[in-house]
Structure 1
Amino acid sequence: MNTSKRGRKVMFMLLLWAGCCSTALAQRKFLYNDTALHRFYTLLQQADTQVLSILHLGDSHVQAGFLPDAVAAGLKARFGDAGRGWVFPYNLAGTNGPDGYRWSSNVRWDAERVVDKGNMRMESPGGIVIRTTHPAPSLSFTANPPIPMHTVACFYDGPPVEADGAAVETGDHQAVITMDSTAYSFRLRWPAGVAFYGAVLKNGKPGVLYHAIGVNGAQFSHYNKPGGAVAAQMQALQPQLVIISLGTNEAFGGVTAAQLRSDMETTVAAIREHAPQACILFTTPPSGMMKKRQVAYRKKGSRKVYYRTRYTSNPQVLVIRDAMVRYCRENGFAYWDLYQAMPQDKRFARAWSHDHVHFNAYGYTLQGTLLYEALEAGYTNFNR
């Protein structure tokens, strides 16, 4: 009897130890509360037979493309590639975007962004929309290197769209274009003016479909506008995982910890309403971001005033990071703590851009690789 009790106790301790080791391994990659991702990990087990949709939502750190592309590359190499995912004509909107593709057009377009002052609504999933009143506009997409496509889902507001050499099935603010064979480019045409929101590219294979949506200057509050971008994202992309990389602009915009919490709650509520089965992963803002100051000085014997640029640390970044972590811990959300990870990795010393707020391509790729490795470690532990 005593032996049996002792055996059960030993077994319990072993299971507890194994669970603790699993959690510790994930936390070593700075991924916390990843039990909240178990539903997503279960879906990863089935990625060889189905498409797994992931949305990475953020600000300028995401819009540039290097960070989400690195995460996507790791996941697709491990679990399969279902296509390019969300694409948008950033170059026609007069802003930066991923390097891997480009759009062209026969007309000029006007752009509206979710962060623009006075813009109270944003129904575009991408947080940016381009518009034209031209009577016969067209849009052409090309990628370098080429991206194989089987279907293209276009999101717009206007008359029915046509596509060269493809069947088009139109719906409410959406058209699904099915290629006759695997294509590497496409052209869209409308008989009148249109507002274009973006497109989703699929190759017809199972695996990961990774959508990166970022807008320069974006905060939680921008995506929470009535209309609204988050609801449109959930309905259009139907993600099983939503990665949210925001907080930088809150740290530089005077947002308090209480306001951040309220904004996070609003974003989560919208996700829960329109994609109740989606897992949510927050990432904290980077540590070491600096504020730029212009310091006046005079040269000896001169009355002329000169200015030199100095950088000082921004203490509000830690306030935002701590508020984000506290919210995740209290509500059981997974979070990847980039703020904590950066001082532990010497490679970030050469990762900054000149403004010490953004990163160079190496820095963003490093971040994306580390985030993928954290997710991969969590998934590996889940399968033990």
Structure 2
Amino acid sequence: MRRWSSFSVAVALLIFACGNQGPYAADRASALTAARGQRTPAPRLSSSTADVAPAGQDQNDPNEAKTRGSMLSAQVEVPPIRPAVVEHPEALRHFFESLSHLEDGSAREDVLVMQLGDSHTAADIGTSAARRALQARFGDGGRGFVAFGRPWPTYVQDGVRGGMTRDFKGERGKFSFGQFVGDGRYGMAGFAIESNRKRGRAWSDLSASASRIEFSFLEQPGGGSFEVFIDDVKKGVVSTRQKTAKSGFRAFDVGEGPHHVEARPRGDGPVRLFGLDLGRSKVGLVFDALGINGARATTVLQWQEPHMAEQLRHQAPDLVILAYGTNEAGDDIPLPVYERQLLDVLGRISRAVPTASCLLLGPPDRGLETPQGWVTVPRLLEIIESQRNVAKAAGCAFYSQLDAMGGPGSIAAWVDEPQPRARRDYVHLTREGYTQLGQAMASDLLRAYDASRSDSNLVSKR
């Protein structure tokens, strides 16, 4: 079973107080500066500047990143194609050691991979392909953390279908007049549903098998209570009223299999539900896909850090993947500022779970229309190089989905195929495209894992 408690809070506070922010701390700016000085310049236009409107400017916009670049008259210099590999695999030592315990049968806890990202992650197509590939080798520890109900109309993930009455509303913060509005407490996924009406109902139909279902919610002054029904049988009443606001968790053991889960507020105060964690009785690998349409890495910085730390410590991931960059490719924020913000996000994660491995997952290709045809957005290539620099400076691994696709210009070719692997917005992929990328990442992770085990004289016993 998953471990349901994490690192000592006292240890985490000591790390923070001493200024040691872990293996990928934000205070490694000097190393980043040195890495940036060795950067291979990203391709730029030989004349004029690309006028690309920001993609997904509003993080609440479900339509997210559509390419709206102006026509360009300049040629784009395309860098040579490089193979997709896991760069800096030594940064994954903790994750690989945890996998080896699963493989040799000595593990007593699940190994958790947690991916935070934008709409590519929210779709849970590439992540589900990676999940299945890794679970096929290391065992199925459960579906992991998923949203409850339907936080936005298009939310659908593998093994989960949710719904809710109009008494519930989605909550994940929003921008208003250039300012972020919200309390920053939205759970590990960065979004929640909320209701204070007695007639409200929210539910999830789970085709993914589970034997333990844990509710994650907000405890707060004046908080209400809700009834839990599983397979139409009342399992209990959960109160969310506490003197201070903090994360709450309540688990229910059920028979192994698919389930219908429902929550009904009693109308005695607001109830905010973050989601469900679906576990199984046997240990294995768990892969959480926590994506938000229109999100950027800076979306994480809008969450309240103590709340995020509570969530991370409770989940105790062995590997945290940050999968952003598509929307940043439409922004005009200076690259040094972007790199510092990315380091800030990694610093938050490190302070909460210092032993977790980290991996920056570069974005897929994104197209821009020019008189010569569709090309890769030049800014995307700069974002990818910045991510490489940050990964190197912060002690994280890096994996390029652009390289896995075949390099710059791939998305245009994928769109034009008889069975397209990319959609005609030249931003998102089809199911076939996402599946290919997810399988490629899993395969390259396994290749790096096997190399690590061989180097450590711990060859797997498959």
* TM-score bin (small chain): 0.7 to 0.9
1:215-252: per-residue Cα shift (whole Å, max 9, x none)?
01111111111514743541342111001111111111
Question: Any unmatched runs of 5+ in structure 1?
Answer: 1-26, 296-309
Match of 2:65 in 1: none
Q: Structure 2 counterpart of 1:240, which letter?
A: D
The within-5 A match list for 1:18-97 is 29-47=84-102, 48=105, 49=107, 50-89=109-148, 91-97=150-156
**Cα drift, residue 264 of structure 1:** 1.1
For residue 215 of structure 1, the aligned residue among 292, 306, 320 is 292
TM (norm. structure 1) is: 0.81
Match of 1:206 in 2: 283
| Distance (whole Å) between structure 2 residues aligned to residue 84 and residue 104 of structure 1 | 18
Match of 2:404 in 1: 341
- Checking the alignment, whether the CA contact within 8 Å between 2:226 and 2:238 is kept in structure 1 is no
| Distance (whole Å) between structure 2 residues aligned to residue 207 and residue 89 of structure 1 | 23
Match of 2:184 in 1: 122
Relative to structure 1, the CA distance from residue 189 to residue 253 in structure 2 (aligned partners, 3 Å threshold; closer, same or farther) is: same
- Checking the alignment, whether the CA contact within 8 Å between 1:83 and 1:148 is kept in structure 2 is yes
Q: Structure 2 counterpart of 1:274, which letter?
A: A
Match of 1:353 in 2: 423
1:132-153: per-residue Cα shift (whole Å, max 9, x none)?
231243322213xx22222112
| Distance (whole Å) between structure 2 residues aligned to residue 154 and residue 330 of structure 1 | 37
| Distance (whole Å) between structure 2 residues aligned to residue 91 and residue 365 of structure 1 | 24
Match of 1:367 in 2: 437
**Cα drift, residue 160 of structure 1:** 3.7
1:26-74: per-residue Cα shift (whole Å, max 9, x none)?
x954111000101110100112432111101100000011011111111
| Distance (whole Å) between structure 2 residues aligned to residue 326 and residue 182 of structure 1 | 45
| Distance (whole Å) between structure 2 residues aligned to residue 239 and residue 361 of structure 1 | 27
Match of 1:163 in 2: 228
Instruction: Judging by fraction of residues, say which structure has more helix.
Output: 1
Relative to structure 1, the CA distance from residue 115 to residue 251 in structure 2 (aligned partners, 3 Å threshold; closer, same or farther) is: farther
Relative to structure 1, the CA distance from residue 189 to residue 57 in structure 2 (aligned partners, 3 Å threshold; closer, same or farther) is: same
Matched, 1:381 2:451: yes
Q: Structure 1 counterpart of 2:202, which letter?
A: L
- 327-336 or 269-278, which deviates more: 327-336
1:127-180: per-residue Cα shift (whole Å, max 9, x none)?
11222231243322213xx22222112122343443234467878542323234
For residue 214 of structure 2, the aligned residue among 153, 164, 168 is 153
- Checking the alignment, whether the CA contact within 8 Å between 1:256 and 1:320 is kept in structure 2 is no
**Cα drift, residue 279 of structure 1:** 0.3
For residue 131 of structure 1, the aligned residue among 178, 194, 197 is 194
| Distance (whole Å) between structure 1 residues aligned to residue 331 and residue 440 of structure 2 | 27
Match of 1:179 in 2: 253
Matched, 1:319 2:382: yes
- Checking the alignment, whether the CA contact within 8 Å between 1:224 and 1:230 is kept in structure 2 is no
**Cα drift, residue 200 of structure 1:** 0.7
Match of 2:368 in 1: 291
- Checking the alignment, whether the CA contact within 8 Å between 1:286 and 1:339 is kept in structure 2 is yes
The within-5 A match list for 1:297-312 is none
**Cα drift, residue 329 of structure 1:** 2.0
**Alignment RMSD, CA only?**
2.6
| Distance (whole Å) between structure 1 residues aligned to residue 238 and residue 150 of structure 2 | 27
Q: Structure 2 counterpart of 1:35, which letter?
A: E
Number of aligned residues: 340
| Distance (whole Å) between structure 1 residues aligned to residue 254 and residue 362 of structure 2 | 44
- Checking the alignment, whether the CA contact within 8 Å between 1:93 and 1:109 is kept in structure 2 is no
SS at match of 2:90: helix
Q: Structure 2 counterpart of 1:331, which letter?
A: A
| Distance (whole Å) between structure 1 residues aligned to residue 442 and residue 237 of structure 2 | 36
**Cα drift, residue 113 of structure 1:** 2.7
**Cα drift, residue 359 of structure 1:** 0.7
| Distance (whole Å) between structure 2 residues aligned to residue 168 and residue 54 of structure 1 | 31
Q: Which structure is larger by alpha-carbon Rg, 1 or 2?
A: 1
The within-5 A match list for 1:272-283 is 272-283=350-361
| Distance (whole Å) between structure 1 residues aligned to residue 112 and residue 334 of structure 2 | 33
TM (norm. structure 2) is: 0.68
Question: Any unmatched runs of 5+ in structure 2?
Answer: 1-81, 241-245, 415-419, 455-462
**Cα drift, residue 90 of structure 1:** 6.4
- Checking the alignment, whether the CA contact within 8 Å between 1:59 and 1:216 is kept in structure 2 is yes
SS at match of 2:181: coil
- Checking the alignment, whether the CA contact within 8 Å between 1:83 and 1:208 is kept in structure 2 is yes
Q: Structure 2 counterpart of 1:162, which letter?
A: E
